[in-house]
Amino acid sequence: MKNKKAQVAEVTLIVIALLVSFQAIYSTVLYHGESASYVSPPKETLDFFSNLNKLDIFNRESGKLAISEAYARSIAKPANCKIIFSDGKPISVWNETCGPDNNLVKEEFSKQLSAKFIEISSKQKFKISLDKNVATFEPSEIQGKITASTNVLKYDVMHQLYSPFSLAHPDLDIKKIYSEYMSRKSTCTTDGVLSENCMKSLEVKGWSSSLESAEYLVFILKSDKSYFYGSGFQPAEIKFALQRLS
Amino acid sequence: MFNSSKKGYLIGTVNSLITASIVVVAVLIISYLLVVSLGTSASEETEEASLQGQTIISLQAYLRTPVMVDINGEMQSMEMSDLIRLAKINANYVPILEKGTRDIFDTVYPGRYKIKTSGIFTYDSGSLTDSISSYKVSEKIALPGEISVTLSLK
């Protein structure tokens, strides 16, 4: 009788010990599963978002480069005025009635920006709009999807593949430069002759100028700031001519 | 001293107690090993995931860090990513890029980072402190114009 009682007590002790131990193991495993899925999302999710970040960086850098190229090219484009050639390159002749048109410069900039952005980033999934020296890149592409799973559930993540971003672009107001030159031209013209020395002394903020003299005074304005375009990092240029004799 | 039936009873009890003790100790050892191994792997996974996110964010912040660079006597403001591009075009700017990069990362990850910009420069801060550098995570970001920047952290 005593023997049986003792055996029951021993078995009960063992069962309790086993239950406690298994409960501890179960809790540990469960906690590990929960903590791993909570703190550390599945690798595919991490990789997905990590790749999105990388894409965002690449797109923004492409946008910066495209702005640089588009700016240098659009302001260098001769205005729709009389054209002369210097070293085989077309230069527009500015006068009181013909000069650069800011709207056309902006239009050209916009066209160049879209083309350059597509070329650099190899993507056509952005709509680019311009407003007050800021270019906004809006993704037109739909969403990306990723299927991931944790220990307890399987889920789909829908996410916009590309994020919108905005970048400042240089001032496109070439008319301002035109106005300064036209104003100086009227004060530097005596008896119908434009004085080269008088024109040389004109300083335009943000630009340095050099002058080639002949029948026309050809001005080459170089921006103080440099830009990435062509294959280098160099100042943007505006070339135009003024007629010596009016 | 004991009669035979009492002796049998005692031997049975002792055997049962020894068996029970062995089972309990074995279960406790297994539990301990499981807790240690699972706990360690969870913390390693967490650390690695956190480090991976940190690497991308650090690279992003690094590329956008503004820097003043002397361009033909004119101080020009640009971002680190522009300086990388500039150093690729003109090798004269590589020392400026390298110094600027080390100034940034030495402050944040002293002795535990390696940075590589494709074909421009590589710097391993870990090589100064360890004979063998083992980096836990490494992230590479591509920039337009076949430029890439890789940051490794430990």
- The residue extents of the domains of chain B are 4-153
Partner-chain contact A233 B139, CB within 8 Å: no
Measured between CA atoms, the residue of chain A closest to residue B11 is: A3
Which structural domain, as residue segments, surrounds residue A91?
Answer: 43-243
- Distance, CA of B63 to CA of A69 (rounded, Å): 20
Helix axes B94-108, B80-89, angle to 10 degrees: 150
Q: What is the mean pLDDT of chain A?
A: 86
Are residues A66 and A101 both part of a single domain? yes
pLDDT, tens digit (0-9, with 9 covering 90-100), for B75-104: 999 999 999 999 999 999 999 999 999 999
pLDDT of B58 reads 93
Structural Rg of chain A based on CA atoms: 35
| A167: contact with B, CB 8 A cutoff | no
Confidence at residue A121, expressed as pLDDT on a 0 to 100 scale: 86
A88-144 pLDDT, tens digit per residue, is 899 999 999 999 999 999 999 999 999 999 999 887 678 999 998 999 999 886 667
pLDDT of residue A42: 64
A165 contact B CB<8A: no
| Closest by Cβ to A46, choosing from B16, B34, B52 | B52
A33 and A138 co-located in one domain: no
Q: Are residues A18 and A110 in the same domain?
A: no
Q: Is the pLDDT assigned to residue B23 strictly greater than 80?
A: no
Q: How many domains does chain A have?
A: 2
The secondary structure of chain A, three-state, reads CHHHHHHHHHHHHHHHHHHHHHHHHHHHHHHHHHHHHHHCCCHHHHHHHHHHHHHHHHHHHHHHHHHHHHHHHHHHCCCCCEEEEECCEEEEECCCCCCCCHHHHHHHHHHHHHHHHHHHHCCCCEEEEEECCEEEEEECCCEEEEEEECCCCEEEEEEECCCCEEEECCCCCHHHHHHHHHHHHHHHEECCEECHHHHHCCCCCCEEEEEEECCEEEEEEEEEEEEEECCEEEEEEEEEEEECEC
* C-alpha separations of A111 from A72, A77, A128 in Å: 13, 13, 10
Best of B9, B21, B38 to disrupt the A interface (most A CBs within 10 Å) is: B38
Does A24 sit within 8 Å of B86, measured CB to CB?
no
* Residue A113 and residue A68 share a domain: yes
Do A119 and A21 lie in a common domain?
no
Q: Which of residues 29-68 of A touch B (CB under 8 A)?
A: 29, 32, 35-36, 39-41, 46, 50, 53-54, 57-58, 61-62, 64-65
pLDDT tens, residue by residue, A177-231: 999 999 999 999 999 999 999 999 999 999 999 888 888 999 999 999 999 999 8
The better pLDDT of the pair A110, B125 is held by A110
pTM: 0.76
pLDDT confidence bin for A81, thresholds 50/70/90: very high
Q: Is B130 helix (H, G, I), strand (E, B) or coil?
A: coil
Same domain for A163 and A59: yes
Helix (H) / strand (E) element for B143: namely strand B137-143
Q: Which of A6-20, A59-73, B114-128 has the lowest mean pLDDT?
A: A6-20
Looking at this predicted complex, what is its ipTM?
0.75
Identify the residue with better confidence: A75 or B48: A75
Chain B closest-CA separation from residue A80 CA (Å): 33
Q: How confident is the model at residue B129 (pLDDT cuts 50, 70, 90)?
A: low
- Give per-residue burial for A111-135: e unless 16+ CB within 10 Å, then b: ebbbebbbebbebeebebeeeeeeb
Q: Do A13 and A51 share a domain, yes or no?
A: no
Same domain for A171 and A204?
yes
